[in-house]
């Protein structure tokens, strides 16, 4: 294939590899076999960084127990640091959708790190007689313990970023709650007028509900800290040298800063994907709640002339190619779609977890891709919603005052009078007010049910309690 290639060999024979590539024969076969999504593993930086950290910890452990020469340990460590620092991620080329339970991803990492280490030692890429992807970089390991461990670390890092974005978004809603604390409106149930409240209380509730999901994410993080390093193929520890597992976990804990702990049962840990199911469920919960909030924002901003029009969303772009002046709630709509996709991904993750037969789940590449993709989408969606939508929302005070929706004298306010005048009487007052448009306080006074001062005080108090 010309001078632009080098020839490498694997268990199936020779393969031509581009001379400038840090990956090798195993990766080259995967590139031929898995042409599915067009999304390379390198599109998930948290996973690539985690793979490098796992390989780094393994090299340090192998050096510590005396099965890897010091010069190789140093070279592999230097290569891993470069990858963990964000370099060479373009060399992680295999498709995220692949057979083999992540073997191609693991080999992609082994080959890239080996060739970087060879250059560190002064050798050309592909000269594996000096440092081998399997015998050295993958020493005491298999895909079945390194890949799940890296995936747990990657998901943990991604969730931490999502949690930070959710926290900021929650705080932004809280700030709007304070800004709108004096804006009285009608609360609604089943899209019908209910009782008075404030717009501030409505926005504060948005912030509180998202803060709850920050807590739920926090509860999953310790469960991701379990590692199966040393389990090798199925959890029996075959091919792992004595002392390796303990040393590897200790070094990985230092490299990541995470409170990693060895799995109590390595056979169980090799086959179990329960923690990923839990994370997926938390993501779906967060996504659905975000979607509900965005749908509410779209309703509250609907119109602006024939809808609720209680709030104004920032105008970001033209909303129609045919209707001049139309502006759409594009950011909430975008977040809605992220939520729909996340809920759908939960179904796929569930099916993948269910079909991990016997001692290994072959479908962790799909699980990992979907989790990392949708954690990232949710984090970006939260950032966009905060900066390009919520921060610029204003209350349509004039409209609320003009329509009467922002006054304590609406039909819903009669609920505050029911404990004093009785439920049936209050319902009759509400019907008269709705039929005639008369003020509730006027009706109550005319009927001799309450004096005006008491009626107004009770209705005003209902707004204060609600807001």
Dist. CA 298–CA 313, nearest whole Å: 9
Is 462 assigned a catalytic role?
Answer: no
Pairing type for strands 311-312 and 261-262 reads unpaired
Q: In terms of C-beta density within 10 A (0-12 exposed, 13-18 middle, 19 or more buried), how is residue 437 classed?
A: exposed
* Phi and psi at residue 318, to the nearest 5°: -60, 140
Dist. CA 274–CA 433, nearest whole Å: 57
Contact by Cβ (8 Å): 196, 466:
yes
Alpha-carbon distance values, 410 to 238, 445, 451, 459 (Å): 75, 16, 18, 9
Spell out the residues 6+ positions from residue 444 whose beta carbon is closer than 8 angstroms to its own.
Answer: 417, 421, 429, 450, 455
Spell out the residues 6+ positions from residue 180 whose beta carbon is closer than 8 angstroms to its own.
Answer: 198, 199, 200, 202, 203, 395
Q: Which of 295, 302, 320, 321 is catalytic?
A: 320
Spell out the residues 6+ positions from residue 394 whose beta carbon is closer than 8 angstroms to its own.
Answer: 311, 312
| DSSP bridge pairs for 184 | 198
> How many residues in total does the chain contain?
467
Which of 143, 58, 146 shows the shortest CA–CA distance to 103?
A: 143
Give SS3 for 406.
coil
For 278: left if phi > 0, alpha if psi spans -120 to 50, otherwise beta; the answer is alpha
Alpha-carbon distance values, 5 to 9, 18, 340 (Å): 13, 4, 44
Positions marked catalytic: 320
């Amino acid at each position: 294939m010309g001078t632009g290639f080098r020839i490498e060999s694997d268990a199936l024979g020779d393969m031509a590899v581009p001379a400038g590539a840090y990956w090798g024969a195993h990766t080259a076969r995967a590139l031929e076999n898995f042409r599915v999504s067009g999304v390379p593993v390198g599109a998930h930086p948290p996973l690539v960084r985690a793979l490098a950290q796992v390989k780094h910890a393994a090299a340090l452990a192998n050096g510590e127990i005396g099965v890897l020469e010091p010069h190789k340990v140093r070279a592999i460590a230097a290569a891993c640091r470069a990858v963990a620092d964000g370099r060479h991620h373009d060399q992680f080329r295999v498709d995220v959708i692949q057979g083999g339970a992540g073997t191609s991803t693991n080999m992609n990492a082994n080959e890239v790190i080996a060739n970087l280490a060879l250059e560190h030692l002064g050798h050309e890429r592909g000269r594996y007689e000096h440092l081998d992807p399997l015998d050295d970089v993958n020493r005491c390991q298999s895909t079945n313990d390194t890949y799940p461990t890296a995936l747990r670390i990657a998901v943990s890092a991604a969730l931490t970023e999502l949690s930070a974005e959710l926290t900021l978004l929650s705080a932004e809603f809280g700030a709007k709650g304070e800004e709108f604390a004096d804006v009285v409106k009608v609360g609604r149930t089943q899209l019908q007028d209910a009782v008075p409240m404030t717009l501030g209380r409505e926005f504060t509730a948005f912030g509180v509900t998202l803060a709850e999901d920050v807590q739920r994410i926090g509860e999953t993080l310790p469960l991701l800290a379990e590692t199966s390093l040393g389990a090798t193929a199925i959890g029996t520890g075959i091919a792992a040298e004595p002392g390796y597992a303990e040393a590897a976990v200790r070094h990985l804990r230092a490299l990541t800063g995470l409170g990693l702990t060895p799995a109590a049962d390595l056979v169980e840990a090799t086959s179990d994907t329960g923690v990923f199911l839990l994370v997926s469920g938390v993501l779906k919960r967060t996504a659905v709640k975000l979607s509900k909030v965005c749908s509410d924002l779209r309703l509250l901003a609907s119109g602006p002339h024939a809808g609720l029009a209680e709030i104004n969303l920032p105008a970001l772009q033209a909303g129609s190619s045919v209707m001049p002046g139309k502006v759409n709630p594009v950011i909430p709509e975008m977040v809605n779609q992220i939520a729909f996709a996340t809920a759908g991904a939960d179904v796929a993750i569930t099916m993948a977890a269910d079909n991990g037969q016997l001692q290994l789940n072959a479908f962790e590449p799909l699980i990992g891709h979907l989790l990392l993709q949708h954690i990232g989408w949710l984090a970006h969606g939260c950032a966009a919603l905060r900066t390009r939508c919520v921060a610029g929302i204003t209350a349509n005070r004039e409209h609320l005052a003009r329509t009467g929706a922002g006054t304590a004298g609406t039909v819903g306010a009669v609920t505050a009078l029911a404990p004093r005048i009785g439920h049936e009487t209050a319902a009759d007052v509400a019907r008269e007010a709705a039929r005639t448009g008369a003020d509730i306080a006027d009706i109550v006074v005319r009927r001799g049910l309450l004096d005006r001062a008491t009626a107004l005080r009770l209705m005003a108090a209902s707004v204060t309690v609600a807001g």
